[in-house]
Amino acid sequence: MNAAIPIDHHILVEDLERQLAHWLAAARTFRDAEEFASLDAWRSVERSVGIPLRQQLHEIVQDLIRHGEACFKMIGAARSDPARVPEVQSKLQDFRHRYVQVDTTLDFFGDAVNTRTSPKLRSALSELDRLAAESMSAVLTAAGKSVPPVLVYQDKGTGASILRAGIRLWVPGAVMPVAAIKIVRHNLYRPTSLFHESGHQVAHLTGWVPKMRSAIAEALAGDAELQHMWVPWSSEIAADVFAFLHTGYASVAALYDVVGDARTILRWPVGDPHPIGWLRTALGCAMSAEAFGQTGPWSTLMRAMRVHHPLSRADDTLRPLLARSLGAIGKIARACLTAPIPALSGRPMTSVLDPARVSPDALAELERTAGPALWSSPHWRRSDGIRILALAGLREAEKPSSAEHWISRARAWLTAEPATGIANPRS
């Protein structure tokens, strides 16, 4: 029996060393960023985004390798001390788990950066990086906050999303160094959802959402059931308001194109933080009426939605709540637009982002003032890029017969590609 102990000990240590050698060698490959994304894709990321991102990823990888090398030293000690084998085995398991967490983190960022697979996509996504950061700048500067770098990536699906800068990553102790925003393919050239996602980042940094909850609750003070329905949606509503204040009615039309699925627009899934699609669209139309006047493409959209998706198709228990919500929608819209922002000394978001700047009249004036140069001039790109997207989205929405022209124009503008075949797009 005694003679078997050293043999078993030797086998166990050799097995641990073999496993660790594999995982540590794999971890060392993480030092090469091109294992996850092409060099051209990495180069397309602006320095303000790429440097903190690459630095964070480098630190994560180096920390993983340090854990593995420390485990190797413990194996050396375990060769002469069988009692340390269980400790080494435990450390090896910890290292394996950490490897998976790092792999998940690097794979996410690699996939995000690697969506910049062509010169056109690199140009478009780089421009969206800039515009998303610009959308946050005025509010965060007024609030005395730093604007986080933004990395925009393209993915499948119907809706955008964000991993906010500052949240914890998959790896323990690591935080997001950038705001990573997913933009979906069908909205790449009508990216109003980009500003919904940057709105989530701004809301987090300025303390907007709790005040939005209070404002909505106060607007619905006479109806406890509606309060119960609407207040939990405050975070998503704040982000919708932020997108509306940047791109006006274009954001409402784009949103409706996402939520207008007949199978879901009148459903209320348990735990969903988003408003019911029907009410979310109605709120966007009500904000448009509040900011721009009662009559406009938003009133037409509202009439069309009520015909295509009548409340009679809603569940019996939900229908009365939808009808009462519609009766209160004007009050809710005013509450959302005037909710105070703690980081702005109690002023509303509209004190910094005036919705009049993206009214149809203001966008038409921008179009007249700039003329054809609006779509080619570096000056207009730098000074009014977000409003240019708002204008393209408005024109696409208000006249379906010319929608393809405006999509092509927005695509050409975002990819810095000459706009061709777009004769008199408003005709």
pLDDT tens readout for residues 187-207: 999 999 999 999 999 999 999
- How many CB atoms are closer than 10 A to CB 379? 10
The proportion of the chain whose per-residue pLDDT surpasses 90, expressed as a percent, equals 79
Does residue 379 form part of some domain? yes
Taking Cα atoms as reference points, which of 296, 295, 303 lies closest to residue 326? Answer: 303
Phi and psi at residue 153, to the nearest 5°: -135, 155
Cα–Cα distance measured from residue 69 to residue 62, given in angstroms and rounded to the nearest whole number: 10
pLDDT at 7: 56
CB within 8 A of 49, min separation 6: which ones? 129, 149, 150, 151, 178
pLDDT at 357: 98
- Measured CA to CA in angstroms, residue 124 lies from 42, 98, 152, 187, 395 at distances of 15, 35, 10, 12, 20
Is the pLDDT at 421 greater than 70? The verdict is no
Does residue 222 form part of some domain? no
How many domains are there within the chain? 2
Boundary (domain end) residue, out of 95, 115, 135: 115
Residues 130 and 137 sit within 8 Å (Cβ to Cβ): no
Cα–Cα distance measured from residue 406 to residue 426, given in angstroms and rounded to the nearest whole number: 9
Q: Find the range with the poorest average confidence among 174-178, 180-184, 319-323, 339-343.
A: 174-178
Boundary (domain end) residue, out of 115, 131, 151: 115
Phi and psi at residue 61, to the nearest 5°: -65, -45
pLDDT at 427: 34
Tokens of 65: 């390798």
pLDDT at 172: 86
Is the pLDDT at 425 greater than 50? The verdict is no
Q: What is the mean pLDDT of residues 297-311?
A: 97
Tokens of 259: 């939520």
Boundary (domain end) residue, out of 93, 115, 137: 115
pLDDT at 51: 83
Tokens of 220: 């619905």
Please give the distance of CA 88 from its chain centroid, rounded to a whole number: 42
Q: Find the range with the poorest average confidence among 165-174, 206-215, 218-227.
A: 165-174
Beta strand 179-184 pairing with 161-163? antiparallel
Does residue 426 form part of some domain? no
Does residue 191 form part of some domain? no
Element (H, E) at 323: helix 319-327
- How many CB atoms are closer than 10 A to CB 173? 9
Provide the residue range defining the domain that includes 60. Answer: 4-115
Does residue 17 form part of some domain? yes
Does residue 71 form part of some domain? yes
Confidence label for 300 from pLDDT (cuts 50, 70 and 90): very high
Per-residue pLDDT tens digits for 132-160:
999 999 999 999 999 999 999 999 998 99
Q: What is the length of the chain?
A: 427
Q: Is the dihedral of CA 302, 304, 309, 310 positive or negative?
A: positive
Per-residue pLDDT tens digits for 213-233:
999 999 999 999 999 999 999
Q: Which residues lie across from 153 on neighbouring strands?
A: 182
Q: Find the range with the poorest average confidence among 66-70, 357-361, 386-390.
A: 66-70
pLDDT at 3: 47
The proportion of the chain whose per-residue pLDDT surpasses 70, expressed as a percent, equals 96
Is the pLDDT at 209 greater than 90? The verdict is yes
Confidence label for 184 from pLDDT (cuts 50, 70 and 90): very high
pLDDT at 40: 83
What is the overall mean pLDDT for the chain?
Answer: 92
Does residue 410 form part of some domain? yes
Does residue 28 form part of some domain? yes
Q: What is the mean pLDDT of residues 117-134?
A: 93
Q: What is the mean pLDDT of residues 155-169?
A: 92
Is the pLDDT at 301 greater than 80? The verdict is yes
Residues 103 and 31 sit within 8 Å (Cβ to Cβ): no
**Pairwise pLDDT comparison (5 vs 36), residue with the higher score:** 36
Phi and psi at residue 226, to the nearest 5°: -70, -40
